[in-house]
Amino acid sequence: MSRDGGTSDSSDFPYLSEEERIRFPDPGTADPHGILCVGANLSPGVLLSAYSQGIFPWFSEGEPILWWSPNPRFVLYPREIRVSESMRKVLRKGVYRLTLDKDFRGVIEACASVPRPGQRGTWITRDMIEAYVRLHELGFAHSVEAWNESGLAGGLYGVSLGRLFCGESMFSRTPNASKSALIALAWRLADEGFPVIDSQVRTEHVASMGGRNIPRPRYLDLVRSCLELPGLRGSWGELLPGFPDSAGWRSTILRRG
């Protein structure tokens, strides 16, 4: 397990067959809603090929696999994350214990099952869960967990290639749990040289923390530049020791008030 994954994360899959390395249609041909194409499968090679080209899967149970590349793209720049004073107090009080890659399956299954206001059902199907667990086992998918006395209180998961992190989903069972996880992750990724967190489509939750829409061409340029940087493939719990320690974390914890 190596901290320096080199520059081959997006194209060199030595554990996969050549047939699994696919080329998606030009993202610029996506329809006005962002749907690019339909079909294929959720194998590691297909998923990694998609993320390396600025594309992600999003579909509901009973639907074919839909691949998306929306315009605009919703992103969060780690160094610009907005943290309210109330959230700084939560972090200073140590309301949650935060970990990396401690319980990936628990996080993704909670993202699939925890009810969300105004949303019925989930797009995180059983096939999706198993596909991303496989990516996690291969060192490309990661989770952040927020724990309290009762157990797993919140968290998020996503996929990382090069210095790109693509956030997939988050959940909270108690107030501010997922926000705590996202803030800690953003600050640490900023320290580690990750220019951007892909949030795919706008949510008010992330927008309140500084998320913004950018044109798809700009996002695709960011993907290409991030993939030229060495990746962090493996267990982030091991590769990023001391989490949530970071410059942003230390400045918050040491601040009085």
Q: How far apart are CA 90 and CA 64, in angstroms?
A: 42
pTM (predicted TM-score): 0.90
- Residue 117, pLDDT > 60, answer no
What would the mean pLDDT of 177-191 be, rounded to a whole number? 98
Where in the chain are all domains bearing CATH 3.40.630.70? 73-254
Q: How far apart are CA 123 and CA 240, in angstroms?
A: 30
Per-residue tokens: 172: 């909270």
Residues 6+ apart with CB under 8 A from 58: 66, 68, 123, 200
Q: What is the pLDDT of residues 192-239, one digit of tens each?
A: 999 999 999 999 999 999 999 999 999 999 999 999 999 999 999 999
What would the mean pLDDT of 5-26 be, rounded to a whole number? 54
Q: SS in 3 state form for 87-135?
A: HHHHHHHCCCEEEECCCHHHHHHHHHHCCECCECCCCCCHHHHHHHHHH
Q: Does domain 18-68 have CATH number 3.30.70.3550?
A: yes
pLDDT of residue 114: 85
Question: Are 161 and 54 in contact, with CB atoms under 8 Å apart?
Answer: no
Higher pLDDT, 205 or 256: 205
- Residue 3, pLDDT > 90, answer no
Looking at the structure, give the CATH architecture of the domain made up of residues 73-254. 3-Layer(aba) Sandwich (3.40)
- Confidence grade of residue 121 (pLDDT, cut at 50, 70, 90): very low
Task: List for the chain the helix, strand, coil content (%; round to 5).
Answer: 35, 20, 45
pLDDT of residue 62: 85
- The CA-CA-CA angle for residues 134, 155, 170, to 5°, reads 80
Question: Are 187 and 246 in contact, with CB atoms under 8 Å apart?
Answer: yes
Q: What is the pLDDT of residues 31-62, one digit of tens each?
A: 999 999 999 999 999 999 999 999 999 998 88
Residue type, 184: A
Where in the chain are all domains bearing CATH 3.30.70.3550? 18-68
Alpha helix (H) residue ranges in the chain: 44-52, 85-93, 104-113, 126-137, 177-191, 204-207, 216-227, 236-239, 247-254
- Residue written as tokens 């923390």? 209
